[in-house]
Amino acid sequence: MYAFEYKKAFSLEDAKSAFDSADDGTFMAGGMTLIPTLKQRLAMPSDVIDLGGIEDLRGIFVDGDTVSIGAMTCHAEVAASTDVKNAIPALAYLASLIGDPQVRNRGTIGGSIANNDPAADYPGALVGLGATVHTTTREISADDFFTGMFETALEDGELVTKVTFPVPEVASYRKFPNPASRYAVVGAFVAKTKDGVRVAITGAGPTVFRVPEMEAALNTSFTPGAIADISVPADDLNSDLHATAEYRAHLISVMAKRAIADCV
């Protein structure tokens, strides 16, 4: 490990002033992605600003038809939350599928979405439910937040503070996990919301995406059969040692149909 300044922030103001006074600062949540990145020297920030002391960034709150989850809330808390299980069981289930117990106890929703790994699970839930990302400066709809592989709409120094999820009528998440890491080879999040059906696919492409053809068919008939003849072209999908683009295209249909079957 090379030398850097470690600073622990206890408030959002602390975090901002530490970032502003650093030559090249970076924030750390649970360190699940950041620490390996530093070890491999893929990033060499001058200052690592630990968000672990900011209590305002933690917690799960249900208010009417909205579930709010603080950025520093770890996956294990979401998976175990009775409030989340009651309001959006698919979200608690998705959190329970992430990595292993160690990852679920350190990894955070804010770190997961800021990192935007193409195989991460939470982007599927955010886009599938039509969530809103709250930051230190603005609110960003999930549809606009995930902009590309490991890229988001966040600007330098902008912190995710919480995510708000509208409670759907019904929702389900199905993923085909990589057997070693548990990351999604393909994950399908399907939700019937007050504004219609949303289908979000993670793991398959450079970043999470919706499938408008499936959504249109499901708005007419919310059954697995409604999407029987709809397939996503393999052209823009990921192809790597875990799965070819064609296999991922096939898995999208299978996972989406299973998610719909869970809902009906």
Ligand X SMILES: Cc1cc2nc3c(=O)[nH]c(=O)nc-3n(C[C@H](O)[C@H](O)[C@H](O)COP(=O)(O)OP(=O)(O)OC[C@H]3O[C@@H](n4cnc5c(N)ncnc54)[C@H](O)[C@@H]3O)c2cc1C
Q: Closer CB to ligand X, residue 101 or residue 233?
A: 101
The reply on whether position 59 binds ligand X by CB under 6 A is no
The reply on whether position 168 binds ligand X by CB under 6 A is no
**Which two structure tokens, joined as six digits, stand for 198?**
């949303």
10 Å CB burial of residue 152 (0-12, 13-18, 19+) is: buried
Instruction: State the minimum distance, in angstroms, from the CB of residue 196 to ligand X.
Output: 26
The reply on whether position 110 binds ligand X by CB under 6 A is yes
Q: Are 15 and 123 in contact (CB under 8 A)?
A: no
**Which two structure tokens, joined as six digits, stand for 24?**
């090249």
Instruction: State the minimum distance, in angstroms, from the CB of residue 14 to ligand X.
Output: 14
Stretch that binds ligand X, among 29-37, 78-86, 190-198, 231-239 (CB under 6 A): 29-37
Among 7, 19, 33, 125, binds ligand X (CB under 6 A): 33
CA distances to 71, 102, 134, 142 from 150, in Å: 18, 22, 19, 15
Stretch that binds ligand X, among 4-12, 116-124, 206-214, 217-225 (CB under 6 A): 116-124
Q: Are 167 and 88 in contact (CB under 8 A)?
A: yes
Q: Closer CB to ligand X, residue 33 or residue 68?
A: 33
The reply on whether position 108 binds ligand X by CB under 6 A is yes
Closest CA to 142 of 153, 157, 127, 121: 127
Q: What are phi and psi of 230, to 5 degrees?
A: -105, 125
Among 38, 114, 217, 252, binds ligand X (CB under 6 A): 114
Which neighbouring-strand residues pair with 141? 132
Stretch that binds ligand X, among 21-29, 79-87, 166-174, 216-224 (CB under 6 A): 21-29
The reply on whether position 25 binds ligand X by CB under 6 A is no
Binding positions for ligand X, 86-105, rule CB under 6 A: 98-99, 103
The reply on whether position 166 binds ligand X by CB under 6 A is no
Among 9, 18, 22, 32, binds ligand X (CB under 6 A): 32
The reply on whether position 15 binds ligand X by CB under 6 A is no
The contact set with ligand X (CB under 6 A) reads 26-34, 51, 71, 75, 98-99, 103, 106-108, 110-112, 114-115, 120-122, 154, 159-160, 181-183
